[in-house]
Homo-oligomer: A and B are copies of this chain.
């Protein structure tokens, strides 16, 4: 199971008690931070996200509302004497900014920061819990989306049946991975006899800031949850295009064409105080839509 918590949902200028973009994706006992606008460390404290559970941070692009909170978070973790390493996945230029800011402050982080420049569409994280892939998004500057896929869950053992076949518990790990068991007499016990299929791996696609772009459809195809920005209501589609952003019905169209299970919309322009219309408009095109309200969590 994955769970997503919204820490910020506003576009460039903070307003109406809405913070700039930051999402926390939780997978088992680990948290993944996606974008890190100004004030993210304060939002993390507010919503009880433990910094110690964070080992990977993903920055989609270098517009300030997606990363100005990063340096504060990195240095706070150092002041709190973090020792575990931290992986930062971001456009290459971010490394120079961080290095410069640490250098002028004469600060050496208490932990190892591993910087991974994103340079192509590829798998950027793969471990026992999760697989993270980067994909290109069309924005005014270099921008990346991220597709998170739970790493295939182990098969579930039917322990009564496994005992009946006298399979030793020391072999259970292999059973979970799908191996057949061979008895001392050479009889093959097919894996399916004693296990059932794992729950299907869940997928979350984060599209960052993007103009309406049908190339996204194949990248986010059939995901369980799609986050697509809606900076503007549909009336401002010309402004949206001009600024490489999207409207409600454009986000809905991508969700529909992508046959995703659920659509989450955010990155609302500061010009809008009330968000009801965003939801109503997106639902015109794609019914299962929700607003990325700060502090809410979505089980995926």
Q: How far is the CB of A270 from chain B (nearest CB, A)?
A: 9
Q: Report yes or no: A14 in contact with B93, Cβ–Cβ below 8 A.
A: no
The segment from A34-42, A162-170, A197-205, A213-221 found at the interface with B is A34-42
Name A104's contact: one of B38, B39, B62, B104 (CB within 8 Å). Answer: B62
Name A14's contact: one of B13, B42, B65, B105 (CB within 8 Å). Answer: B42
Q: Report yes or no: A72 in contact with B105, Cβ–Cβ below 8 A.
A: no
Q: Report yes or no: B104 in contact with A72, Cβ–Cβ below 8 A.
A: no
The segment from A95-103, A234-242, A260-268 found at the interface with B is A95-103
Residues of B within 8 A of A69 (CB): 38
Is A12 part of the contact surface with B, judged by Cβ < 8 Å? yes
Size of interface on A: residues with Cβ below 8 Å to B: 35
Q: Report yes or no: A96 in contact with B106, Cβ–Cβ below 8 A.
A: no
The segment from A73-81, A110-118, A249-257, A284-292 found at the interface with B is A73-81
Q: Which residue of B lies closest to A91 (CB)?
A: B104
Is A140 part of the contact surface with B, judged by Cβ < 8 Å? yes
Q: How many copies does the complex hold?
A: 2
Is A188 part of the contact surface with B, judged by Cβ < 8 Å? no
Q: Report yes or no: A101 in contact with B15, Cβ–Cβ below 8 A.
A: no
Q: Report yes or no: A14 in contact with B76, Cβ–Cβ below 8 A.
A: yes
Residues of B within 8 A of A12 (CB): 75-76, 79
Q: Report yes or no: A76 in contact with B39, Cβ–Cβ below 8 A.
A: no
Name A63's contact: one of B63, B68, B105, B140 (CB within 8 Å). Answer: B105
Q: Report yes or no: B104 in contact with A14, Cβ–Cβ below 8 A.
A: no
Q: Report yes or no: A45 in contact with B79, Cβ–Cβ below 8 A.
A: no
Name A38's contact: one of B13, B72, B94 (CB within 8 Å). Answer: B72
Name A100's contact: one of B41, B72, B100, B106 (CB within 8 Å). Answer: B100
Is A71 part of the contact surface with B, judged by Cβ < 8 Å? yes
C-alpha gap A91/B101 in the complex (Å): 13
A-B residue pairs in contact (CB < 8 Å), sample of 13: A12-B76, A38-B38, A38-B41, A38-B68, A62-B104, A63-B107, A91-B104, A93-B100, A94-B104, A97-B97, A97-B104, A104-B141, A106-B140
